[in-house]
């Protein structure tokens, strides 16, 4: 059953992040919740690629026939991290401009002002 623990953690992280986003009272907090939800994909990808007793896929100091964990999902995780950094920086910039214009970071107050 321990083989499903990474998947359970990924599902939990995703749900916790979504819940945080839906109930957020602060745009910065909302962006952090998004990163929590997105980190679920890292856990899921690395969990899928993990192999018991295998080494990291770096053949600098291990023999060429050593069992290694999946390098493909690790490369996907790298892409995932870069995209997350980009999304977060753009969202934080938008939050900053929203705060400048409306003087608040509460999403509910933002809606009240635009209507």
Partner 1 sequence: MSRRARLWLLAPALAGFLGLLVWGMTGLPGSGDHQGAVAATIARTAVPERHATNVVTTVTLDYRGFDTLGEEMILFSAALGLVVLLREQRGERKEEVDDDRAAGRKAPGTSEGLRIFSLALVGPTVLLGLYIVAHGALTPGGGFQGGVILATSLLLVYLSGKYLALRELTPIPALEAGEALGAVAFALIGLGGLIASGVYLHNFIPLGTPKTILSGGTIPFLYLAIGLEVAGAFMLTFLEFLDQTLLVRSRSGG
Residue from 37, 57, 84, 104 binding partner 1 (CB under 8 A) = 57
d(C-alpha 49, C-alpha 43), whole Å? 10
DSSP letter, residue 63: -
The CB-of-68 to partner 1 minimum distance in angstroms stands at 5
CB of 42 vs partner 1, minimal distance in Å: 13
Indicate whether 113 belongs to the interface with partner 1 (CB under 8 A).
no
Cα separation, 105 vs 25, in Å, equals 8
Our finding on whether 64 is near partner 1 (CB under 8 A) is yes
- How would you class 43 by CB atoms within 10 Å of its CB: exposed for 0-12, middle for 13-18, buried for 19 or more? buried
Which member of 26, 32, 93, 106 binds partner 1 (CB under 8 A)? Answer: 93
> Residues 16, 36: contact at Cβ < 8 Å?
yes
Contact in structure between 27 and 105 (CB atoms under 8 Å):
yes
Q: Considering CB under 8 A, how many residues would be counted as binding partner 1?
A: 54
CA distance 42 to 52: 18
User: Is 68 near partner 1 (CB under 8 A)?
Assistant: yes
Residues that bind partner 1 (CB under 8 A): 2-8, 11, 14-15, 18-19, 22-23, 47-52, 54, 56-60, 64-65, 67-75, 78-79, 81-83, 85-87, 89-90, 92-94, 96-97, 100, 108
């Amino acid at each position: 059953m321990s083989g499903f623990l990474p998947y359970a953690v990924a599902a939990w992280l995703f749900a916790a992040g979504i819940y945080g986003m839906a109930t957020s009272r602060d745009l910065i907090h909302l962006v952090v919740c998004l990163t929590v939800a997105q980190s679920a994909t890292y856990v899921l990808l690395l969990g899928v690629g993990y192999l018991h007793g295998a080494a990291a896929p770096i053949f600098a100091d291990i023999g060429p026939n050593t069992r290694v964990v999946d390098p493909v999902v690790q490369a996907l995780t790298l892409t995932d991290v870069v995209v997350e950094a980009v999304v977060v920086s753009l969202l934080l910039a938008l939050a900053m401009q929203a705060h400048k214009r409306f003087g608040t970071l509460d999403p509910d107050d933002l809606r009240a002002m635009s209507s």
